[in-house]
Amino acid sequence: MTNMVQAMEKYMSKLFKDGKAMFLAYDHGMEHGPTDFNDVNYDPCYIIDIALRNRFTGLILHKGLAEKYSENYAGRIPLILKLNGKDNIAKVPPFSPLICSVDYAVKLGAAAVGYTIYAGSPDEARALEEFCRIQEQARDYGLPIIAWMYPRGPFVQNDKDPLIVAYGARIGLEVGADILKVKYTGSSGTFHRVVEMAGRAKVVCAGGLDTNPQTFLEQTREVLEAGACGVAVGRNIWQSEYPDRIAKALESLIFKSASASKAIEALH
């Protein structure tokens, strides 16, 4: 167990700078489809270049992009390999099946693996069983595991309800996740409860926050003040006409503890 923990700490150190994380997510092609893309950001090379130009500490990809674009990022930014995924075509209760193994993620050079759990879904039990298996496999390699904790389904009326988000965070801690990717709850006070429920698991706030850059940065400041260690963002960055400006503003918030107003100055 000691060797396993030491190996995981080695990988965790790659994903953080001074205990802070700034992940760029690009798993949207499968999850959301062409509606998320324009004539620039459909190209993985464009997104990878954004990650490399800025201080992102991890790049989140599915295995197909990790395979085919490894020459663009390998050795330059840590890979977070998303192990499960679903499309948005089938209108069925939310469940995201495995599409990549931990073994293959290691072959692709992953520094961490990720898995989405839709707590509250009718298929929640299947997801928890899968997560249990991959969590233990990841431990064999000393790999950290990130859990996308997204309460969703017919039993969840509001997936941003602070109590529901906090419950999801607690489930993630209990099943062995090292990092929890959760939704913004609307205020620093309510998000603080989410961080408390996460215990010793680290919390990053999911992207998809307000699309207005200024509001997005203000919300990011709130989640950091509530105890989150960073963000895992995608569309807030690469759907913007000025992705580097927003990335620089995020850097000042996360790594320099800048105020929201100071970070907003980087947008101009």
Alpha carbon distance 162, 185 (integer Å): 5
Q: Which of 28, 22, 21 minimizes the C-alpha distance to 44?
A: 28
Tokens 């800048």 -> residue: 258
Residue 267's alpha-carbon distances to 64, 248, 256, 261, 262, in angstroms, are: 33, 8, 16, 10, 10
181 is annotated as an active-site residue: yes
Q: Which helix (H) or strand (E) holds 170?
A: helix 162-174
From 63, 82, 181, 202, active-site residue:
181
Is the separation of the CB atoms in 264 and 217 below 8 Å? Answer: yes
Residues in contact with 193: Cβ distance below 8 Å, sequence separation at least 6, in sequence order: 162, 163, 166, 185
What is the per-residue burial (b if ≥16 Cβ within 10 Å, else e) of 134-169? bbebbbebbbbbbbbbbbbbeebeebebbebbbbbb
Catalytic residues: 181
